[in-house]
Amino acid sequence: MAAHEGMNQQTKKKETNKKKTHWCFSPILLKSCDQHVLSLIAFSVYLFITLKLFVYINIMTMSQQVLLRDAMRRLNMTRDVFAERIGVRRRTLDSWLLPDESKEYRSTPEVVRRFVQEISSKTDAGLVYTHGVYPSDEGAGYQGKQLKHLLSVDQLTRGDVEELFMLSDVMQPIARRQKVTRVLEGAVLANLFFEASTRTRISFGAAFCRLGGSVCDTTGFTFSSMAKGESIYDTSRVVSGYVDAIVVRHPDKGAVSEFAHATNIPVVNGGDGPGEHPSQALLDLYTIQREFSGLGKLIDGAHIALMGDLKYGRTVHSLIKLLSLYRGLKFTLISPAELEMPTEIIDSVCRNGHVVELSNTPINALKDADILYTTRIQKERFTEESIDSYGADFEVNQKLVGAECKSDVVIMHPLPRDSRAGSHDLSVDLNVDPRLAIFRQTDNGIPIRMAIFAKLLGVDQLVRRSMKDVTWVTPSYIGPDDNFPEASIS
Ligand code: NCD
């Protein structure tokens, strides 16, 4: 009995436990749990569809040229290799890369767009063919950090550069005057130029205006309060109260960084004495990449010849540093002995695994160069140097290019070129030579500077969907000598 009673008690206890357990799964709770699970499933499905839709809309609204160029950059493939990878002929790919208004332009089938998006999002696929641009786990771009100022190319990684280039591709239709945007409507730029400038000042101003902003300019010291002894700190802080971004060009190395230290609004270095010129280097590199794209070449492994005043030329200082973010380059640095590239820059380029050769003459030094980038002698920065050593053999003209360069060399110059007799700068006799890329280079200043502003002011994601057609008439070629084969300007 006692045992029975004990068992009964145990059974009762179990039953109570059972009841308790049962209570946990009561119909009311089960119902609310079900609802919970159901709403979770519904939410996941909703998220999945939204994400898919977002990716789809993204592919469909991204211009085909931007999509294809970005894919080639991510996969680090030449046009030939990329055409093979996606299973089309090189000519077909070329026609997809042309500007929309070109007669040869063809639109990319949707199935190809989807395939391109798929292979470029898996950057590992690129590693099979060559070296991918982005480390596989980092993804493209600034790796989450916001670029506050643009003072030196040292701030940029290869991923940052490639992201800016993709953004510049997005800006191309606006720079080419087919589209307009107002993403910077209401914003004001101060262009503070304390040194001579035409293209840098105007192109920064035009880039800001083409994003919908407006520009205030000041040129030279004479008409600024600096002539009354005002410090950089005060000028910078005062101007920052008036505008949303500042571009500064100053004759002293480091002066633009000083401007940046006195403000929380974005400051862009438009050239600080013999120091740096980051936006010029970005547009130069962008030009090299686009020229190479047409020629079926990659920046990795290229041979770049830099010539002229390599001591004081700030454009070459920034450009060589930016190029050293790529792999396996050969640099030939050609200048008189007293105008050689500063050793600390050469050392850092060598530390990045590139080959550097110095020459005091262009003769026999240009033989297999892919790029011949020549510069003006910066007499205004000379201390004890003289120009006597910069003889006629340095002049880049038809004779030199014909005798010393490869047939597909790309000739570049940051401009201005000194056209006065005896300057031995880049000759005008190459003006109709399609290998002369100087005006394609200056044209690229607009999309690059637009991309810089869009990034600094955080509107980079808004541009693509904000574009509208222009309302005015624009010429098909900007310059009278611009009618090169269209593939070379695509
Ligand atoms: C250069 C400069 O100012 O550094 N020009 C430019 O910005 N495009 C080159 C020069 O002055 O020689």
Burial class (CB in 10 A: 0-12, 13-18, 19+), 64: buried
Q: Which of 256, 277, 375, 377, when mutated, tests ligand 1's pocket best, judged by the most ligand atoms within 8 Å of its CB?
A: 277
Amino acid at 55: V
Say which residue, 391 or 278, is predicted with more confidence: 278
Distance separating alpha carbons of residues 311 and 382, to the nearest angstrom? 10
Buried b (16+ CB within 10 A) or exposed e, 371-386: bbbbbbbbeeeeeebe
Distance separating alpha carbons of residues 110 and 133, to the nearest angstrom? 25
What pLDDT score does 31 carry?
56
Q: Which of 282-296, 379-393, 463-477 has the highest mean pLDDT?
A: 282-296
Buried b (16+ CB within 10 A) or exposed e, 161-198: bbbbbbbbbbbbbbbbeebbbebbeebebbbbbbbebe
CA of 190 to the centre of ligand 1 (A): 20
From the CA of 376, give the closest atom in ligand 1: 12
Distance separating alpha carbons of residues 281 and 315, to the nearest angstrom? 6
Report residues whose beta carbon is within 6 angstroms of any ligand 1 atom.
199-200, 271, 277, 280, 314-315, 376, 414-415
Nearest-CA residue for ligand 1 atom 7 is 200
Q: Which residues contact 444 (CB under 8 A, 6 or more apart)?
A: 168, 283, 286, 287, 290
From the CA of 200, give the closest atom in ligand 1: 7
- pLDDT at residue 34 above 80? no
- pLDDT at residue 441 above 80? yes
- pLDDT at residue 161 above 70? yes
Nearest to 162 by CA among 132, 183, 184: 132
What pLDDT score does 131 carry?
34
What pLDDT score does 296 carry?
95
Mean pLDDT computed over 447-469: 97
From the CA of 271, give the closest atom in ligand 1: 4
What is the chain's mean pLDDT, rounded? 87
CA of 415 to the centre of ligand 1 (A): 6
Flag the least confident range among 56-70, 156-170, 208-222, 250-264: 56-70
Q: 420 falls in which pLDDT band (50, 70, 90)?
A: very high
Which backbone phi and psi does 211 adopt, to 5 degrees?
-90, 0
% of the chain with per-residue pLDDT over 70? 85
Nearest-CA residue for ligand 1 atom 11 is 416
From the CA of 197, give the closest atom in ligand 1: 3
From the CA of 195, give the closest atom in ligand 1: 3
CA of 413 to the centre of ligand 1 (A): 9
Flag the least confident range among 16-20, 137-141, 416-420: 137-141
Q: Are 430 and 398 in contact (CB under 8 A)?
A: yes
What pLDDT score does 142 carry?
46
What pLDDT score does 121 carry?
84
- pLDDT at residue 465 above 80? yes
Q: Are 194 and 251 in contact (CB under 8 A)?
A: yes
Q: 36 falls in which pLDDT band (50, 70, 90)?
A: confident
Q: Which residues contact 333 (CB under 8 A, 6 or more apart)?
A: 305, 306, 307, 310, 340, 341, 346, 356, 357, 358, 359
Flag the least confident range among 142-156, 272-286, 352-366, 417-431: 142-156
pLDDT tens readout for residues 322-368 = 999 999 999 999 999 999 999 999 999 999 999 999 999 999 999 99
Flag the least confident range among 141-155, 187-201, 250-264, 396-410: 141-155
3-state secondary structure the chain: CHHHHHHHHHHHHHHHHHHHHHHHCCHHHHHHHHHHHHHHHHHHHHHHHHHHHHHHHHHHHCCHHHHHHHHHHHHCCCHHHHHHHHCCCHHHHHHHHCCCCCCCCCCCCHHHHHHHHHHHHCCHHHHHHCCCCCCCCCCCCCCCCCCCCECCHHHCCHHHHHHHHHHHHHHHHHHCCCEECCCCCCCEEEEEECCCCCHHHHHHHHHHHHCCCEEEEEECCCCCHHHHCCCHHHHHHHHHCCCCEEEEEECCCCHHHHHHHCCCCCEEEEEECCCCCHHHHHHHHHHHHHHHHHHCCCCCCCEEEEECCCCCCHHHHHHHHHHCCCCCCEEEEECCHHHCCCHHHHHHHHHCCCEEEEECCCCCCCCCCCEEEECCCCHHHCCCCCCCCCCHHHCCCHHHHHHHCCCCCEEECCCCCCCCCCCCCCCHHHCCCCCECHHHHHHHHHHHHHHHHHHHCCCCCCHHHHCEECCCCCCCCCCCCCCCCHHHHC
Half-sphere exposure of 210 (CA within 13 A, CB side): 28
CA of 12 to the centre of ligand 1 (A): 94
